[in-house]
Amino acid sequence: MNTWSTRTVPGLAALVTAGLLLSACGAGGRPAGESSSGAPAAAVVGVTDTTIKVGAHYPLTGVAAPGYSEIPDGVKAYFDFVNAAGGIHGRQIEYIVRDDGYNPTNTSSVVNELVLKDEVFAIVGGLGTPTHSAVVDFLNDEGVPDLFVSSGSLGWGDRPAERPMTFGWQPDYEIEGKIIGQWIKENKPDARVGLFLQDDDLGVDGEKGVRRFLGDQIVETVRYTSGNTDVAPQLAKLQAAKADLIIGFNTPSYTALTQLVSMKLSYQPAWFYSSIGSDANLVGALLERFSEGAVKAGGKALDGVYTTEYIPGVDSPDNEWTKLWQKVWAANGNGKDLTNYRIYGMSHAYAFVQALQAAGQDVTRENIVAVLEEKGATFDGPQLAPFRYSKDNHLGIGGLQVTQLKGGAGTELTKVLVTDLGDTPITEDTSGAAQDAPPASGIPGN
């Protein structure tokens, strides 16, 4: 695991000293003096009487940019929607996004800038398992709320005593792997299973969950390093092992690459991609690009593929949450199409606004963490299953459902299933979270 180091940025000691001096003088926070209630108040970094500043890191360029670069579009659109309605407790949300190119070294640099130069109140939705691993300990050492990481790694929530400021948001890869593994065991008991895994916590955690059910069915496991686009050796190895169902815990670019290489090898296994790599429209566009126009599958690129879902997307236009996102995007989008990645961004932005509402007028870094621990498990939102937040657990959504893709839309193969780490059983969700509708205003209340 990469850790943040003072060697990452030249002249860091001076920056740290300057940051401490600025904080002592009240820079970036409420002007020194009184809180809104009239009591004396110390400055809160990133918070004034009229604004609250948050930041994020995303791959706006590079191999992981397709799809993922659209997430902050959705975040910004929802924050703009909230700001147009008066903001939160009279404060406008300022949102700063830095490009890290999905490179952990870059992530260290841009997050350092967000914290020490831009003086953000919190990091919200920072993306990537290898990238966010490079900064998670720095953020906790600095006491910066590290909320709703855009990754399903266990590292964002399974040890809150070590990382008290960090919270996951989406289902973690272990419980996704468990649900995938159980479904295959029950529905494809004779399948010869191969695993195609990103060589980091994404693959490690997913494999851990899958192997709880499929240890005796797995015939081969291969791994890829993000940035290395030659996956022919891995696919040839799966083919040689006669794997007829491959589970992929990988990013969208590698879904397209595995599909393209399989065509070249005349290899036709069934595929089960985890939720992060199964956007059919994006994969179709990537296939066309990678094949230089030879493959034009569009939204049908992943027809027949199995996957999982935990929030409604563009293939559910009649869902009340999707209708809200359509409204938000029409008013505040950038003129491009609404996509599942933009919906993902709006969804975790909604959770952040809900946490701010619950934290109250005199928001601090400490009380937003306390609110999530004490009340986060009851937060509503578009998620199909409840959050798991507590003082002992900072992991996010606790379940999902298995679907099969056709024409870019998912057909439900299971009810919403919930579980937790380890031997926790998998059960059907009875919370009714999947039926929650958004408030009429589109903004969560106190």
Beta bridge partners of 193: 218, 245
Give residue 436's pLDDT: 87
C-alpha–C-alpha distance, residues 246 and 264, integer Å = 17
C-alpha–C-alpha distance, residues 17 and 20, integer Å = 5
Give residue 17's pLDDT: 34
| Nearest of 54, 90, 47, 100 to residue 75 by alpha carbon | 54
Give residue 446's pLDDT: 57
204 by DSSP, 3-state: which?
helix
Q: Tell me the whole-structure pTM to 2 decimals.
A: 0.87
| Nearest of 200, 205, 207, 251 to residue 229 by alpha carbon | 251
pLDDT by 10-residue block (mean), the chain, 446 residues:
33 34 34 41 87 98 92 98 97 98 97 98 96 97 98 95 98 98 98 97 96 97 94 98 98 95 97 95 93 88 96 95 98 95 98 97 97 97 97 97 93 97 96 91 88
Give residue 34's pLDDT: 44
Report which secondary-structure segment, H or E, holds 335.
none
Give residue 322's pLDDT: 97
Strands 146-149 and 122-124: parallel
Quickly tell me which residue has 């809150």 as its tokens.
Answer: 160
Give residue 28's pLDDT: 37
Which positions ≥6 away from 332 have C-beta within 8 Å?
Answer: 76, 77, 78, 80, 81, 84
Beta bridge partners of 245: 193, 270
In a 10 Å sphere around its CB, with 0-12 CB exposed, 13-18 middle and 19+ buried, how is residue 316 labelled? middle
Beta bridge partners of 387: 397
Strands 51-58 and 92-99: parallel
C-alpha–C-alpha distance, residues 69 and 437, integer Å = 28
